[in-house]
Amino acid sequence: MPADGSIPSTLRSHSDTAHTKCGVVLIGHGNTATAMLAAARAIIPGDGLADIIALDAGAGKTPELEARVIAAVAAVDEGRGILLIADLMGSSPCMCGIKESAGHGFAVVTGLNLAMLTKLALADRSSSPRELAQACADSASRSVCIKVVDEQGTSSSCPT
């Protein structure tokens, strides 16, 4: 037992969530998930994204993808639940992730983007999957902007 009285992680059960964090799995078509995670890690300092697993679905739902999702969920599940971030709701990779995450206590947020990953890198991962999903969705929503410049050079600005 460590001097501070904490339970070593090797002895902690999944029901002990005092020192655990929500696991995160990214899933997307083609190379979306790994490319997005690599980009986020390149621009966000620190190790806030170090334990996130990215899964590229390639051709969509296959037995091999199902096995990879099961392994990824098991690898990141510390007992606090799973946040699944998918590129597109209703897609084969997303639905495979949902199916294989059942029983782990999870939330899904779709529309994978850098704003979500930036928020995730700085977020309190001891939060519930639902709270993290909401924080990621809010961040993504605020990051979407349409800027229009007409022929005279007049532009409309994005809300801040």
| pLDDT above 80 for 156 | no
> What is the distance between the alpha carbons of residues 43 and 118, in angstroms, rounded to a whole number?
9
Counting Cα atoms < 13 Å in the Cβ hemisphere of 90 gives 0
Q: Kindly report, residue by residue over 100-122, the tens digit of the pLDDT.
A: 788 888 999 999 999 999 999 99
What is the pLDDT averaged over residues 16-43? 89
Return the closest-CA partner of residue 113 out of 42, 50, 35.
Answer: 35
Q: Kindly report, residue by residue over 44-94, the tens digit of the pLDDT.
A: 999 999 999 999 987 766 888 888 999 999 999 999 999 999 998 888 888
Burial letters 91-128, b for 16+ CB under 10 A, else e: bbbbebbbebbeebebbbbbbbbbbbbbbbbebebebe
Q: How confident is the model at residue 159 (pLDDT cuts 50, 70, 90)?
A: low
The reported pLDDT for the residue numbered 138 is 96
Q: Architecture of 23-139 per CATH?
A: 3-Layer(aba) Sandwich (3.40)
